[in-house]
Structure 1
Amino acid sequence: MSLSSAQKKSFRSIGHHLNPVVQISENGLSEGAKTELERALNDHELIKIKLAINDRDIRNDIVDHLAETAQAEVVQTIGKMALLYRKNPKANPKLSNVTRYSQE
């Protein structure tokens, strides 16, 4: 799954207004965080993740690992925030950030 530049631009615009739903601490990726990541991607499709890690290279490695594990696409990373997207054809329109904010 590869997003076009227009899709990424649209998702970045939506993501700007989102609050992080998953937080990763310096202790690494816990099972609870993985479970929450799966639930959030299924419900919302487009999610923001906060990484409380100071080392930039480690943050980038974790974001890449999360995207690969969850079969999601990295839309954007800025500082300690990352925006991930995974299409869910059965997503609830009332929960999906993509559906809710692209109609406004």
Structure 2
Amino acid sequence: MLKGKQKKFLRAKAHHLNPIFQVGKGGVNDNMIKQISEALEARELIKISVLQNNDDDRDEVAESLTSGTGAELVQLIGSTIILYKESKENKEIQLPQ
């Protein structure tokens, strides 16, 4: 579980990132969760965009992504979801205590 100070740090790091995944009309599926998990292992911090044609609630999309990938939800703002998961092999981000 991330602390407030850590979330603030990660939000600042994610500010300049572009979304690398888009959740569209098909919603969240197993293949998407697998790809996002691999991206989190490589990058640790990613942005995901929820498109307007998605019928699911943004909160439900964020919940299914965090539970499916085992990642932490850093922020859900507008249609953008920011996820963080500590990498096992490519650890680059040092969180503040």
Structure 1 length-normalised TM: 0.79
Equivalent position SS for 1:34? helix
Judged with a 3 Å threshold, the aligned counterparts in structure 2 of structure 1 residues 56 and 5 are, in CA distance, closer, same or farther, namely farther
- Percent identity over the alignment is 33
Structure 2 CA distance for aligned equivalents of residues 19 and 82 of structure 1? 11
**How many residue pairs are counted as aligned between the two chains?**
95
Which residue does 1:9 correspond to in 2? Answer: 8
Q: Which runs of 5+ in 1 are unaligned?
A: none
Which residue does 2:79 correspond to in 1? Answer: 80
Greater share of residues in helix:
1
With a CA cutoff of 8 Å and minimum separation of 6, indicate the structure with the bigger relative contact order.
Answer: 2
Which residue does 1:66 correspond to in 2? Answer: 65
Which residue does 2:42 correspond to in 1? Answer: 43
Judged with a 3 Å threshold, the aligned counterparts in structure 2 of structure 1 residues 56 and 82 are, in CA distance, closer, same or farther, namely farther
Which residue does 1:26 correspond to in 2? Answer: 25
Structure 1 residue ranges (4+ consecutive) displaced by more than 2 angstroms after TM superposition: 53-57
Post-superposition offset of 1:22 = 1.2
- The Cα RMSD (Å) is 2.2
